[in-house]
Chains A and B, each alone.
Chain A
Amino acid sequence: MSQGVAVVGLYVRDQEEALRFYVDLLGFRVHTDARNGDYRWLTVQHPEQPSFQLGLFAPQPPTMDEATAATVREIVAKGAMPPLVLMVDDCRAVYAQLRDRGVEFTQEPVSRYGSVDAGFRDPSGNGWKMIQGRSA
């Protein structure tokens, strides 16, 4: 595929902490980790989704001024960033696995509307819904 959405980013409070969360706990892979001084372009990928990168970006100068960055950090910590959805084959199994690894779940798996969904947050406060794909 040569056209389409390639990168969507999250704001995180600490890129090192986010890297550990998404790679060590969720099982994503690092795609790009490039530094230039204090600036760090960091993206990860779902192992089954090679054409898409999830950016883990810090709200900080020089990409934004410090006053704006402080506001963004507050918004992230209040869980007000847009919703994220992770599709899985077996919501209950993945829930048990991630919970045991220390992921902070906000909702246990619930069966409804022909599927199963659960909710968790990353350390920064970004909220994920984990939804079981409907079997064909």
Chain B
Amino acid sequence: MPPARRTDPDLLRRLLRAKDRMDAASHEAWPVRRLAQVSGTSEAHFARSFKDAFGLPPHRYLLTRRIERATAFLRDTERSVTEIAMETGWSSLGTFGRIFHDIVGESPGAYRARVQQEAHELTRVPHCFVSAAHRPGLTIAVSEKRRRASAP
């Protein structure tokens, strides 16, 4: 068996910094140039290293965080879907609705109606961990999910 491929922990720590920055401000635009700067790597090196380290491309990671925030706002606030879309970084309500549906499996409105019915039994767990547990899975590309869903 070949030895496991190693990644320099110092590079991983700097990639983590870029991931943290997206977590802290997922509503902002995060072009690769900006992320590479945070990590102190070249743009070409960044996207590939990030995917190697965390299993998905940086842009796709950002989408999951935005949808995660949106689901929390839908669940915990009375703000309108349009407001939530703008607040979580989407410039178009249509794109937000489409990506939301692709990832969560239902529309923002349907999601809100369902979860607001459900009782909350997680109040004793610190918020950030509950939120992480609610993080939507996104292991395949959104376009790939659409393609599969529409396949006969």
Q: How far is the CA of A112 from the CA of B128 in the complex (A)?
A: 11
Write the nearest CB–CB distance from A114 to chain B, whole angstroms.
Answer: 10
Of the candidate stretches A23-31, A40-48, A88-96, A117-125, the one touching chain B is A117-125
CB of A8 closer than 8 Å to a CB of B: no
User: Residue A19 at the B interface, CB < 8 A?
Assistant: no
CB of B6 within 8 A of CB of A70, answer: yes
Question: Which chain B residues (116-152) contact chain A, with CB distance < 8 Å?
Answer: 123, 126-129
- Complexed CA–CA distance, A112 and B126 (Å): 10
B interface SS class: helix
Residue of A nearest to B128 (CB): A129
- From 1 to 16 in chain B, residues with beta carbon under 8 angstroms from any chain A beta carbon are 3-4, 6-7, 9-10, 12-13, 15-16
A13 and B9 contact, Cβ closer than 8 Å, known pairs A71-B4, A106-B23: yes
Main secondary structure of the interface of A (DSSP, over half): mixed
Partner of A117, one of B10, B54, B127: B127
Q: Give Cα distance in the complex from A85 to B54, angstroms.
A: 24
Instruction: Kindly list chain B residues whose C-beta atoms are within 8 Å of the C-beta of A79.
Output: 16, 19-20
Minimum CB–CB distance for B55 against chain A, Å: 10
A21 vs chain B, min Cβ distance (A): 13
- The A/B interface has a contact count, at CB < 8 Å, of 54
In the complex, the answer to whether A74 meets B9 with C-beta atoms within 8 Å is yes
Contact, CB under 8 Å: A124 / B13: yes
A56 proximity list for chain B (CB < 8 A): none
B128–A119 touching, CB < 8 Å: yes
A117 touches B6 (CB 8 A): no
Closest chain-A Cβ to B40's Cβ sits at a distance in Å of 14
Size bracket of the B interface: 20 to 34
Chain A residues whose C-beta falls within 8 Å of the C-beta of B126 in the assembled complex? 83, 85, 117, 129, 131
**A78, B54: Cβ atoms closer than 8 Å:** yes
* Cβ-based interface call for B44 (8 A): no
Contacts of B128 in A (CB 8 A): 83, 107, 117, 119, 129
Tell me the minimal C-beta distance from A22 to chain B in angstroms: 17
Within 8 Å CB of B110, what residues of A? none
Q: How far is the CB of B64 from chain A (nearest CB, A)?
A: 16
Verify B16–A125 contact, CB threshold 8 A.
yes
Closest 4 CB pairs of A and B: A77-B12, A77-B9, A77-B13, A106-B20
Question: Could you pull out 8 A-B pairs where Cβ atoms are within 8 angstroms?
Answer: A67-B4, A71-B4, A74-B6, A76-B9, A117-B128, A121-B16, A125-B12, A129-B126
